[in-house]
Amino acid sequence: MPIRPARRITDTSPKNFGMFTKAVGMQGDLIHLELGMPAEDTPQHIKDATIAALQAGDVHYSDLQGMPELRSAIADKLNGQSGMDLTADEVIVTNGLTQASFAAFMAFLDAGDECLLLAPYYPQHIGKAELAGASVTIAPLDAADGFAINPALIEPHITPATRAIALINPCNPTGRVYTRTELEGLAEIAQKHDLLILSDEVYADITYDGATHISIASLPGMKERTITMGAFTKSHAMDGWRLGYIAADQSLIGPCMKITTSEVTHVNTFIQHGALAALQGDPTVLEGMVARDKERRDLVVTRLNQMPGVTCAPVEGTIYAFPDISATRLSAQECADRLLQETGVVVEAGSFYGEAGEGHLRVCFGCAELPVLEDAMNRMQRFFNAL
């Protein structure tokens, strides 16, 4: 008789990777624009620092919370860039943002609690909440209003069981960078209802056209009720390195540490030197990477807006465009499926991010070089022309 898995496995939502799962086994000339995997290579100075640490024998156990000098550099970055007020003791180095968010969900959600997701939402958060014994509720934002944070659309979904709100800023999948006014409205709701904000800020360094990323933890009264999560994944093309962090008030760090040390003890020692180099290296390296992402964005958004039945709002941040294809009268999933089958271009259906994303596609422009993106746009143009 097979051994029965725990009910936290059998009674929770299956892990779902959307269009990637459909495309991964297919043969042919596919262009993958469904995954948020940077096209850039990790900058050389980051590799060099990591290799030097490895060769120097920095291969043993280290600080459970993360290398102190790295935690100090992360705190300095957030204090200077985001106006936060952190010490090194208020930072945990994690295995990417995925572990950071899992630790936060596990540390602060109980069975019967609810976590509110702003839709379109990041679907991987659902499984983390459920593994913690909690459930998710959904507050759909309005596409006609640019998916703005509107308290009138959020507050009705708060119940006595609501414990936390998950925020993604800059937002995957919509490409929004929320304004101070929007964040102040969300902060007011959190304080009024005594809620925790779980703030995913992995795209904080990738903004365009003067859009300013603001950490909600920097607003008055919010540090003690916000867990800020970041990573080097997108900004420094370090997705395979699995390096991220939690930044929070000291009162929130201990519970998260109980989870992280139970999971992995601590992050790989020598790769933390690479993260330190990322933060202390020449800033023009990051600026150049973001500038190239902007070129990719400009190409994709311009081309999408030339396709019949497609409109694409300006992308303020992240590496994703979120075009509206509702005028084609195709559902998001049907459109994504047909693009895959008929053109070989893999994009994600907006409905993967909840019903609020219906009528949209998520197109990752940050994962391919310009000639590949041009090819993808040509294929998509022919598809929409023929509808």
The DSSP code sequence of 121-188 is: --THHHHHHHHTT-EEEEEEPPGGGTT---HHHHGGG--TTEEEEEEESS-TTT-----HHHHHHHHH
pLDDT score of 134: 97
The highest-level CATH class for domain 44-280 is: alpha beta
Alpha helices in the chain (DSSP H): 7-10, 19-23, 44-55, 68-82, 96-108, 124-131, 151-154, 180-192, 250-264, 271-280, 283-304, 332-343, 370-386
List the end-to-end C-alpha distance of the chain, in Å, as a whole number.
53
* Nearest of 190, 102, 105, 174 to residue 141 by alpha carbon: 174
Homologous superfamily of 7-42+284-386: Aspartate Aminotransferase, domain 1 (3.90.1150.10)
Residue 349 C-alpha from the chain's centroid: 17
* Three-point CA angle 38, 343, 360, nearest 5°: 65
**Which residues share a beta bridge with 247?**
91, 228
Tens of each residue's pLDDT in the chain, 387 residues: 889 999 999 998 888 888 888 888 888 899 999 999 999 999 999 999 999 999 999 999 999 999 999 999 999 999 999 999 999 999 999 999 999 999 999 999 999 999 999 999 999 999 999 999 999 999 999 999 999 999 999 999 999 999 999 999 999 999 999 999 999 999 999 999 999 999 999 999 999 999 999 999 999 999 999 999 999 999 999 999 999 999 999 999 999 999 999 999 999 999 999 999 999 999 999 999 999 999 999 999 999 999 999 999 999 999 999 999 999 999 999 999 999 999 999 999 999 999 999 999 999 999 999 999 999 999 999 999 999
Instruction: Say whether 44-280 and 7-42+284-386 share the same fold.
Output: no
Burial of 315 (0-12, 13-18, 19+ CB in 10 A): buried
Under 8 Å between Cβ of 253 and 228 = no
Tell me the domain boundaries of the chain.
Answer: 7-42+284-386, 44-280
d(CA 231, CA 234): 7
Contact 313, 148 (CB under 8 A): no
Q: Are 361 and 320 in contact (CB under 8 A)?
A: no
Coil, strand or helix at 97:
helix
Question: What order of strands is seen across the sheet that includes strand 114-119?
Answer: 91-94, 244-248, 226-231, 196-200, 162-168, 114-119, 135-140
Alpha carbon distances (Å) from 18 to 213, 222, 326? 28, 34, 20
Alpha-carbon gap, residue 57 to 270, rounded angstroms: 9
Cβ distance 260 to 36 under 8 Å?
A: no
- Closest Cα to residue 301, out of 284, 281, 286, 316? 316
In the block, which residue shows the tokens 């995913």? 200
Q: Dihedral of the CA atoms 75, 80, 86, 92 (nearest 10)?
A: -20
User: Which residues 6+ apart lie within 8 Å of 308 measured at CB?
Assistant: 384, 385, 387
Give pLDDT, residue 215.
Answer: 98
- Angle, helices 68-82/271-280, rounded to nearest 10 degrees: 30
Please return the burial class of 282, using the count of CB atoms within 10 Å of its CB with bins 0-12, 13-18 and 19+. exposed
